[in-house]
Amino acid sequence: MADIGPIWEQTSFDPTGHSLAFPYVHMLPNIVSLIDRRKAIDYLKERYGWPERDTIAQVLTPLSGSALIATAAPDRQSIVCYPLRAEIMKDGAAVPGGGDINASDGQFAARAYPKSSDVV
């Protein structure tokens, strides 16, 4: 276990983001709309054995909008953005996903959980 840094960061920071109510960025409408539906279904069935209904539910159905998750430009490198391979994207451009908590994650947390002078 010489170097578990990247594995530790991805597997510990992602759930931390979700426990703080960070939405799955890769499921926001403006990213989901870039996914080629047929290619995604075929890829995930071939690679992971996912049935079509799971791909539709977990990858192709965008989160509904709300004030909490509304953002002009979703961060494709947020800790709560899973990578999406170029071959399933309509424009052929991969979504890199995040490997660590970054500045936009910090800004989201600051908006969701503002500091209070009333903290005991």
Predicted TM-score (pTM) of the model is 0.72
**The pLDDT value given to residue 67:** 45
Residues ≥6 apart with Cβ < 8 Å to 60 = 32, 35, 37, 40, 41
pLDDT in tens, 31-89: 899 999 999 999 999 999 999 999 999 899 988 765 455 555 678 888 888 889 999 99
Whole-number mean pLDDT of the chain?
80
